[in-house]
Amino acid sequence: MQASFSRPAAATVLAIALAAVGLVPAATPAAAATVPAGSGSYSDARPAGTSGPTTNTGAPVTPKLTAAARDKPVPTNDWWTSLAYQRYGDNPYSTPMYGHPLTYQATSGGLEVGYPTTPAVVGDGRQYEYAHKADLTVGLNGLNSPDTKADAWSDWTVTPYWSDGARTLRTTIGHGMPFVYAKGSGGDARITTAGTPTVFADNGNVLGITVAGHHYALFAPTGSDWTVSGSAITAGLGGKDYFSLAVLPSTDALATYRKYAFSFVTGSQVSWESTGGTVKATYSLTTEAKEGTERGTLQALYRHQWLHTSDALTPYTYVSPRGTMKVRESASFTTSQKNSGVLPALPASSGVDKARLTGYLNEVANASDPFSGATDTYWTGKALGRLAQLVPVADQIGQPGIRDKLLGLMKGRLQEWFTAGGASEFSYDKDWKTLTGYPASYGSDTELNDHHFHYSYYVYAAAIVAQYDQAWAADSAWGTMVKTLVRDAANPSRTDSAYPFLRGFDVYAGHSWASGHQGFAAGNNQESSSESINLSAGLVLWGAATGDTALRDLGSYLLTTESEAITQYWFDAGQQVFPSSFGHDTVGMVWGSGGAYSTWWTANPEEIHGINVLPVTGGSLHLAREKAAIKRNIAEMERENGGPAVEWRDLLWEFESLADPAAAKAKWDAGNAGYSPEQGESRAHTYHWIATLDSLGAPDLTVSGNIPTSAVLVKNGVRTYTAHNHGSTARTVTFSDGATLSVPARSTATGTGTGGGDPDPDPSTGNTFRLKSGGVLTTATDGAAGADTLASADGVNRDGTPYKPTVYEARNVDGALAAGASTTFRLRVDAGTTVGLAPQVRVSYDLTGDGSFDRAETFRYFATDPVTGWEEYTQAVGTKSVTGSLGTLRGGTVRLEIWNALNSGTSKVQTGTDGAVLKIPYA
């Protein structure tokens, strides 16, 4: 949830401030009309007595746009939205905007630009931030604009606009962009620095300066010359209208950055595809050559991106609140990740007592008020979500009567909301081009907050209904209203004139934003990342149930992408993002400037840790990919809480069961008699979830199925494969380890798999090697099991650079490169009771055996847990870096190096078994 936020009103009279920026209260609308949508409808005017978007003092507000942008749907809930949404009447420019690596704030004289590199820990140690602080301001001589408006935008860039009648300025800024591109008229280019700059390079129209410890390059048109006078730097544009600047990773990067100074970015766009269990996304910039013919550019990739790309990266890096950003010299890059599967429910298992579960189901189905008095969009959604989780569970244990009763309750409440004119309805705002549910809550009306959170529950519930009643979900029935909610919260179309593209999801940041106005000094924020995931999971299930593969694949892209962002930026799974001075292993909220160990409404550790877990659904399985992070998360909650969870114990038991089902089951057994379920939970769902995972094992995210509604669980080395087939004909689901599962039409199937099922790679083939103690890679499979010790990292971060590695080699290897294949491995490692030793692997290829390695693939390290016992480390962690190229092996050498990348202490790697295997991409 995104709580409302206010600050004291400005001393200036609000009406004067509004008039100054051309904002006036919206006219009272004519009588509302009803807009049909299949069997449903919504209104085109708000219900009487309700509000739409307002300033902090409650005055109506309309988007702050130039004439060129006035008819475009505004992507509220973005990193730059304060340019368009004037939340505070005394600030017609913007609040700080965090593009990373640069930060920005619009002022009367132009655009402040900063590059915060030193974190501050504030709020009694509960928040870290890289707060915006201007190093310089980009403007024109004499510019004094009364406001700043949004003039244009694309998927992750925006163009602010200033005009004072005599001068105009446009700048284009964006995520990952080290450049600011400016176009101005009516005055010379002017850069005002925060202090007297140091000039390190002066080449006429190219000036290198250092200010506040940061290096910048300024670029004016060829033939111009920069003049430095104290903190004022100016250049005549010589009849041109463009200039640019870049933040440099080092002074010696000037020549590289100069190459792209006049390749102005004009747009940004992401494309995605989800096929065969893999989600690929390509991030592309379009450019215009202001001088010469260069159309390339430089982009800084976030951690969640560079961990999953094999595209070449430069050595240049930047500091950011999301960890290190790495620079690519190209106008595009592609990421690839295994699809994060979604299930309507966990599969049937012998661990569930059907009689006991039936009793719990009846508690919900027969309650006097199954909706617990909910009237607004959020709490009604929570109640719908609670019922939706139980429908497939009731069906699974042979209780069709309970299933149909729950479905009837859900349909009735959804239809009430999907019909205009009643006590609850949805209403369209033509100025903001948004659909708002009334009664509203948490600023979903006045601040445009949280639409993706609220509507996620409606979409998810509708998807469960559609699984059992396709006629109900038809466009001619209630499907059009479901799709209208989707268009508001996660519209896949860039050409829809009624709703913006992906309103809340920031494709480059990799996650959604909750605030509709972005009116905070710390930028935008998101608290409940899991409710954002709930919308993505709902899209997967709705698309699969209705045959809308485009929406299904959109859901897969959003879920898989945000899952990695949550892993890195909320849970810091690799322990490479949070500053060392921030003493927490998780955050409840991510801000543009950093993160906070807090929530909007309480400092209770249970809610801080639980808000990024709820609701627990078949879309929550992605969290199990980083089991060590879950264990750290639970341990910190109990430390901060002074003991195990009390209020939200059910959510946190379910969360723990994704990493340690037996421990969660023990807590359930000890404490299930005397607790009240969290409002979106039920005793029935919690019991089914915990008992199932205890019986079948935690999710295994190293394996994915070739449809998005599939998953794998593993216990004691035995994998259970499960998938739901929404289609009208039977199909075979194939998993990435070779296992297959036959799934009847409109059914869930579960089994141990056929036609494979052993983790890839298979140690029986000639391109597969076992690790053998003594530093040998061998294709023999009859060796004795053993273990080798990995040396300590000696307390120094060795990420990416082998340090005292244990080395295994195979020599005189011949082989032809196999098309489409890649290096894979399966290793078992154990750090004992020491946490986070981070074993890391590099695989190198010397193609001719001449002692010079032609190809090196360094993989991400594995975050070991502090529990004695083997853990599986595979290539699924992704590559950290790749150098060189593969080719034919003729008498070549294959080398595997493994070392501890972090902390102090030794760990072990298993040898001589099928858990100690390297498979090379050769025939």
Active site residues per annotation = 450, 527, 531
Phi, psi of 400 (to 5 degrees): -65, -30
Residue 615: CB atoms within 10 A of its CB come to: 28
User: Residue 637 to residues 588, 835, 907: CA-CA distances in angstroms?
Assistant: 11, 17, 27
- Let me know if 5 is exposed, middle or buried by CB neighbors in 10 A (0-12, 13-18, 19+): middle
The greatest distance separating any two alpha carbons of the chain, rounded to the nearest whole angstrom, comes to: 85
What's the angle, vertex CA 507, arms to CA 384 and CA 312, rounded to 5? 140
Q: Quick check: 577 and 510 in contact, CB under 8 A?
A: no
> What's the rounded Cα separation, in Å, for the pair 387 and 385?
5
User: Shortest CA distance to 532 belongs to which of 475, 592, 589?
Assistant: 589
- Let me know if 421 is exposed, middle or buried by CB neighbors in 10 A (0-12, 13-18, 19+): exposed
Residue 183, classed as helix, strand or coil, is strand
Distance of CA 904 to the CA centre of its chain: 31
Q: Quick check: 168 and 185 in contact, CB under 8 A?
A: yes
> What's the rounded Cα separation, in Å, for the pair 510 and 772?
41
Amino acid at 106: A
Q: Quick check: 140 and 167 in contact, CB under 8 A?
A: yes
Q: How many CA atoms lie within 13 A of 786 on its CB side?
A: 13
The tokens for 573 are 């799974």
> What's the rounded Cα separation, in Å, for the pair 681 and 751?
28
User: Shortest CA distance to 261 belongs to which of 169, 180, 330?
Assistant: 180
Distance of CA 820 to the CA centre of its chain: 28
E strand segments, 684-757 = 698-699, 710-715, 718-725, 731-734, 740-743, 747-751
The tokens for 708 are 């998005």
At what angle are helices 451-468 and 529-546 packed, to 10 degrees? 30
The β-bridge relationship of strands 214-219 and 425-429 is unpaired
Q: Quick check: 135 and 212 in contact, CB under 8 A?
A: yes
Q: Quick check: 201 and 207 in contact, CB under 8 A?
A: yes
Q: How many CA atoms lie within 13 A of 194 on its CB side?
A: 16
User: Shortest CA distance to 565 belongs to which of 577, 553, 547?
Assistant: 577
> What's the rounded Cα separation, in Å, for the pair 98 and 104?
6
> What's the rounded Cα separation, in Å, for the pair 461 and 11?
47
At what angle are helices 451-468 and 400-417 packed, to 10 degrees? 130
DSSP structure class, residue 414: H
What's the angle, vertex CA 778, arms to CA 773 and CA 779, rounded to 5? 145
Residue 779: CB atoms within 10 A of its CB come to: 14
User: Residue 732 to residues 543, 696, 720: CA-CA distances in angstroms?
Assistant: 19, 21, 15
Residue 649, classed as helix, strand or coil, is helix
Q: How many CA atoms lie within 13 A of 839 on its CB side?
A: 30
> What's the rounded Cα separation, in Å, for the pair 783 and 778?
9
CA-based torsion, 451, 456, 458, 463: positive or negative? positive
The tokens for 562 are 């945000």
